[in-house]
Amino acid sequence: METEQYGYSEEKQAYLRRLKRAEGQVRGIARMVEEDKYCIDILTQMAAVNKALHAVSIGLLEDHIAHCVVNAANESQESGNPEIVSDKVAEATAAISRLLRS
């Protein structure tokens, strides 16, 4: 079945590796809790996994803008319909805003 290709598709394997690592980090934190490790050491690992996930988000965001938003810009240019790209920009900005508050 032919699936939609997005900006991140080219780097899919790299994203999957990074997500796998983040998943392992969360599992490692659970093990620290299980083994009654010191709170601050656990919190240090929590900050690390948040940072790793934010880095993945930034990558996905860059790919999205470079692919989906840019395609929408060209579509708007060719069709003369500015809403194609303005909707796409609003959608991307809402995603950035959610990340900022997460």
Q: How far is the CB of 90 from a second copy (least distance, A)?
A: 7
**Contact in structure between 69 and 96 (CB atoms under 8 Å):** no
**Contact in structure between 11 and 59 (CB atoms under 8 Å):** yes
Asked if 80 interacts with a second copy (CB under 8 A), we say: no
Among 77, 79, 81, 83, binds a second copy (CB under 8 A): 77
CA–CA–CA angle 48, 52, 56 (5° rounding):
165
Asked if 65 interacts with a second copy (CB under 8 A), we say: yes
Give every CB contact of residue 28 below 8 A, 6+ residues apart in sequence: 45
Contact positions toward a second copy, by CB under 8 A? Answer: 3-9, 12, 15-16, 19-20, 22-23, 26-27, 29-30, 33-36, 38-40, 42-44, 46-51, 53-54, 56-58, 60-70, 73-74, 76-77, 85-86, 89-93, 95-102
